[in-house]
Amino acid sequence: MATLVLTAVGSILGGPIGGALGSIAGQQIDSAIGLGPKKIHGPRLKDLSVTTSSFGHPIARHFGKVRTAGTIIWATDLKEQRETSGGGKGKPKSTSYSYSVSFAVAISSRPIHSIGRIWADGKLLRGAAGDLKSPGIMRFHSGHRDQQADPLIASAESKCPAFRDCAYVVFEDLSLGDFGNRIPALNFEVIADAAREVMISDLVPDSIGSDRNGVLSGMVGYSDEGGPISTSLSQISEVFPLNFGLSGTSAKIASSLAGQSRLVQLDAARRAPAQASGEGQSEEVVQTRSNSSRAVPRALRYYDVGRDYQPGVQRALGQSTDHSDAAIELPAALEASTARSLCNHMVQQAKWRNELLTWPICDVDTDILPGKVVSLPDRAGNWLVKEWDWSEQGVDLSLERVLPNAPREIDAHKGDLKPPSDLHPLPTKLRFLELPWDGSGSSDDRQLFAALSSGEEWSGANLYYEFNGGLIPIGVGTAERVVQGSIQDSLPPSPSILFEREATIELQVEAADFNIRSTTMVGLLQGENRALVGDEVIQFLGAEQTGLLSWDLKGLLRGRGGTETSALAGHPPGTAFVLLDEVLQRLDGASIPYSAETRLAAIGFGDEQPVLADIEMFGQSRRPLAPVHLQRTEAVGGDVTFSWKRRARGQWQWTDFVDTALVEEREVYLVGVGSKFDPLRVWEIEKPHISFSKSELDALSAGYPGQSLWVCQVGTYSHSHPAILATFA
pLDDT mean values, one per 10 residues, the chain (729 residues)? 36 37 40 40 55 76 93 93 63 76 95 95 91 92 95 92 95 92 93 83 66 74 85 84 68 65 73 55 57 68 92 80 71 91 83 80 78 82 83 82 72 73 85 93 92 88 89 83 96 95 96 95 93 97 96 96 94 97 91 90 89 94 94 92 94 80 94 93 96 94 94 95 93
Q: Which residue type, as a one-letter code, is found at position 345?
A: H
Q: Does the residue 532 lie in any domain?
A: yes
Distance CA 180, CA 11 (A): 70
Instruction: Classify residue 529 by its DSSP letter.
Output: S
Exposure string of 531-550, with b = 16+ CB inside 10 Å and e = fewer, is: bbbbbbbbbbbbbeeeeeee
Residues 664 and 614 in one domain: no
Give the CATH number for residue 664: 2.60.40.10
Domain count for the chain, please give it: 5
Q: Does the residue 703 lie in any domain?
A: yes
Residues 233 and 361 in one domain: yes
CA distances from 683 to 357, 565, 639, 672, 687 (A): 122, 23, 17, 6, 12
Q: Of 192, 218, 232, 230, nearest to 110 (Cα)?
A: 192
Helix ranges (DSSP H) in 310-384: 336-352
Distance CA 532, CA 578 (A): 5
Residues 600 and 640 in one domain: no
Residues 567 and 436 in one domain: yes
Q: Does the residue 47 lie in any domain?
A: no
Distance CA 508, CA 707 (A): 41
Burial class (CB in 10 A: 0-12, 13-18, 19+), 114: middle
Helix, strand and coil in the chain, % to nearest 5: 15, 40, 45
Distance CA 232, CA 40 (A): 10
Residues 543/553, Cβ–Cβ less than 8 Å:
yes
Residues 123 and 156 in one domain: yes
Question: What's the maximum distance between 2 C-alpha atoms anywhere in the chain?
Answer: 154
Q: Does the residue 421 lie in any domain?
A: no
Q: What is the pTM assigned to this prediction?
A: 0.69
Domain coverage including residue 120:
61-191
Distance CA 553, CA 542 (A): 6
Q: Of 350, 353, 334, nearest to 410 (Cα)?
A: 334
Distance CA 579, CA 550 (A): 15
Q: Would you call 727 helix, strand, or coil by DSSP?
A: strand
Residues 444 and 591 in one domain: yes
Distance CA 157, CA 564 (A): 68
Q: Does the residue 241 lie in any domain?
A: yes
Listed residues 619, 642, 662: the one ending a domain: 619
Residues 510/411, Cβ–Cβ less than 8 Å:
no
Distance CA 729, CA 725 (A): 13
Residues 353/383, Cβ–Cβ less than 8 Å:
no
CA angle (439 as vertex; 434, 440 as ends), nearest 5? 95
Note the pLDDT of residue 485.
96
Q: Does the residue 275 lie in any domain?
A: yes
Residues 635 and 672 in one domain: yes
Listed residues 191, 218, 236: the one ending a domain: 191
Q: Does the residue 423 lie in any domain?
A: no
Burial class (CB in 10 A: 0-12, 13-18, 19+), 255: buried
Listed residues 560, 584, 619: the one ending a domain: 619
Q: Does the residue 53 lie in any domain?
A: no
Neighbouring-strand partners of residue 172: 137
Strand bridging mode 250-255 / 71-75? unpaired
Residues 612 and 678 in one domain: no
Q: Reading across the β-sheet that carries 708-714, which strands appear in turn?
A: 679-685, 668-674, 708-714, 723-727
Residues 216/338, Cβ–Cβ less than 8 Å:
no
Residues 608 and 474 in one domain: yes
Distance CA 572, CA 686 (A): 39
Residues 243 and 325 in one domain: yes
Note the pLDDT of residue 76.
93
Note the pLDDT of residue 208.
59
Distance CA 130, CA 139 (A): 11
Neighbouring-strand partners of residue 717: none
CA gyration radius for the chain?
Answer: 43
Q: Which residue type, as a one-letter code, is found at position 9?
A: V
Distance CA 358, CA 380 (A): 14
Residues 600 and 644 in one domain: no
Q: Of 138, 144, 91, nearest to 118 (Cα)?
A: 138
Residues 580 and 469 in one domain: yes
| Complete DSSP assignment for 568-610 | HH-B-TT-EEEEESTTSEEE-GGGS--STT-EEEEEETT-SS-
With left for phi above 0 and alpha for psi between -120 and 50, is residue 496 left, alpha or beta?
Answer: left
Note the pLDDT of residue 46.
63
Cβ within 8 Å of residue 160, ≥6 positions away: 149, 150, 153, 154
Helix (H) / strand (E) containing 103: strand 93-108
